[in-house]
């Protein structure tokens, strides 16, 4: 099948080419992010392969459909960037990678917790400059602290497991508590979690209910000096409210792998450009904020699984057999 692969990076090419061995799809790699302006690049391609910051709104989908695209193969688990009702109206199939390495994301969330707690990212620079002062590097024992996990799916439960290993107490909030949760995971109401957790970590998807879940009233409910970690989706946090929380000291440490306006920033080298997102730049001025550019998924195991499942989805769509991890507005396979 001919597939236009948008937002391609060199590593995508390496892993997809390897996964495609034996399948024989014609993969055409495009650097461009998918938008209404770049959609014409996919003219004549039966399939489009897209990543998290590609835009698949109604306008883009109609442009793709008019030029023959019938399959959207997402290289991600999340599909909040796709107008699903529009794909159904147009009769397009959307496939995703339901799970590639929940360990990768959970472990990165833990890396943010550890770095922020002991300020290793500041220590690294200091030591290189011959500054061995410890002022400003004071951490706290994780042992005995309370961790609030919002969203106990695949990633949230692994994160809970690891933090429990440090000796933390685990509180969780999820409208659909998991039967796989271990006995030490105590499900509580969201406001209790907010009020008792020393560390709050977000592992829920972006939905109308979780859009700006962390707003100013949620911040107000949190413990003074709380550590807030987001490896879920940027819009789960109202960045303005969190900046106010940092300014007042309510939020003591903030670790982000995702940001609500990240599609204009992440996955590209902007070091020679002026960044015009003042809100993002304000975040980078805080000494107690650690931001990574949506890299939590970025392990060799995850990239292998993403590529293998994406190619298998394309083959299943084309042949009508095998497992197609289809996303539908009302049903997820
Ligand atoms: P999952 O589907 O296994 O789990 C999501 C959980 O969130 C489910 O248990 C669900 O019931 C729960 N949930 C739904 N609505 C909720 C709400 N209003 N409040 C609290 N919980 C709610 O998904 P997963 O594989 O664990 O991934 C979680 C999220 O992590 C994804 O949706 C995606 O946005 C994000 N993610 C980020 C990266 C990254 O690189 N940073 C990579 C993969 C996934």
How much is the mean pLDDT over the chain? 96
Q: Are 223 and 169 spatial neighbours (Cβ–Cβ below 8 Å)?
A: no
Q: Is 256 in the pocket of ligand 1 (CB under 6 A)?
A: no
Mean pLDDT of the 228-252 span: 98
Mean pLDDT of the 251-276 span: 96
Distance of CA 224 to the CA centre of its chain: 26
Which string of b and e fits 115-145 if b means at least 16 CB within 10 Å?
Answer: bbbebeebbeebeeeeeeeeeeeeeeebeeb
Ligand 1 centre and the CA of 280: distance in Å? Answer: 23
Quickly count helices (H) and strands (E) in the chain.
11, 12
Instruction: State the Cα–Cα distance between residues 255 and 285, nearest whole angstrom.
Output: 13
Minimum-distance ligand 1 atom for the alpha carbon of 297: 40
Instruction: State the Cα–Cα distance between residues 122 and 118, nearest whole angstrom.
Output: 9
- Pick the catalytic residue: 33, 203, 294, 325? 294
Q: Which CATH superfamily is domain 2-100+299-332 in?
A: NAD(P)-binding Rossmann-like Domain (3.40.50.720)
Ligand 1 centre and the CA of 38: distance in Å? Answer: 29
Question: Which residues make Cβ contacts (< 8 Å) with residue 71, sequence separation at least 6?
Answer: 1, 46, 47, 48, 92, 93, 94, 95, 314, 317
pLDDT in tens, 69-128: 999 999 998 899 999 999 999 999 999 999 889 999 999 999 999 999 999 999 999 999
Ligand 1 centre and the CA of 234: distance in Å? Answer: 12
Within 13 Å of residue 29, how many CA atoms lie on the same side as its CB?
11
Ligand 1 centre and the CA of 68: distance in Å? Answer: 32
Mean pLDDT of the 195-223 span: 97
Confidence category of residue 332, pLDDT binned at 50, 70, 90: low
Q: Is 258 in the pocket of ligand 1 (CB under 6 A)?
A: yes
Give the position of tokens 């399959």: 71
Ligand 1 centre and the CA of 297: distance in Å? Answer: 13
Q: Which of 25, 80, 24, 20 is nearest to 50 (CA)?
A: 80
Residues of the chain with CATH 3.40.50.720: 2-100+299-332, 102-291
H/E segment holding residue 169: strand 169-173
318 is catalytic: no
Instruction: Please choose from 9, 75, 77 the residue to mutate so as to test ligand 1's pocket, defined by most ligand atoms within 8 A of CB.
Output: 77
What pLDDT does 94 receive? 97
Q: What is the ipTM of this complex?
A: 0.99
- Pick the catalytic residue: 233, 235, 253, 325? 233
The CATH code for residues 102-291 is 3.40.50.720
Q: Which of 330, 253, 315 is nearest to 288 (CA)?
A: 253
pLDDT at 209 over 80: yes
Q: Is 148 in the pocket of ligand 1 (CB under 6 A)?
A: no
H/E segment holding residue 67: none
Beta partners for residue 214, in sequence order:
237
Tokens of 95: 């496939």
């Amino acid at each position: 099948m001919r597939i236009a692969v948008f937002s391609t990076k060199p590593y995508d090419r390496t892993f997809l080419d390897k996964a495609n061995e034996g399948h024989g799809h014609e993969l055409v790699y495009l650097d461009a992010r998918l938008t209404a302006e770049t959609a014409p690049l996919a003219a004549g391609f039966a399939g489009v392969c897209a990543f998290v910051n590609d835009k698949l709104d109604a306008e883009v989908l109609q442009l793709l459909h008019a030029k023959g695209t019938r399959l959207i193969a997402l290289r991600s688990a999340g599909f909040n960037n796709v107008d699903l009702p529009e794909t159904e109206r147009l009769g397009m199939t959307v496939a995703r990678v339901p799970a590639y390495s929940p360990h990768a994301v959970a472990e990165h969330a833990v890396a943010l917790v550890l770095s922020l707690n002991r300020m290793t990212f500041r220590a690294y620079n200091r030591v290189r400059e011959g500054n061995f002062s410890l002022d400003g590097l004071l951490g706290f024992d994780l042992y005995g602290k309370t961790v609030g996990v919002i969203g106990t799916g695949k990633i949230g439960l692994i994160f809970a497991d690891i933090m429990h290993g440090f000796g933390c107490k685990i509180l969780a909030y999820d409208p659909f508590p998991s039967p796989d949760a271990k006995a030490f995971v105590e499900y509580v109401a969201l406001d209790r979690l907010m009020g008792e957790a020393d560390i709050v970590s977000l592992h829920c998807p972006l939905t109308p209910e979780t859009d700006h879940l962390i707003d100013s009233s949620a911040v107000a409910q949190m413990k003074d000096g709380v550590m807030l970690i987001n490896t879920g989706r940027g819009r789960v946090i109202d960045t303005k409210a969190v900046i106010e929380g940092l300014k007042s000291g309510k939020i003591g440490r903030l670790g982000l792998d995702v940001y609500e306006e990240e599609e204009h920033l992440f996955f590209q080298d902007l070091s020679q450009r002026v960044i015009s997102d003042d809100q993002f730049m304000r975040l980078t001025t805080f000494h107690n904020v650690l931001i990574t550019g949506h890299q939590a998924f970025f392990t060799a195991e995850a990239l292998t699984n993403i590529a293998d499942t994406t190619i298998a989805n394309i083959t299943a769509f084309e042949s009508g057999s095998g497992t197609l991890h289809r996303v539908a507005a009302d049903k997820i396979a």
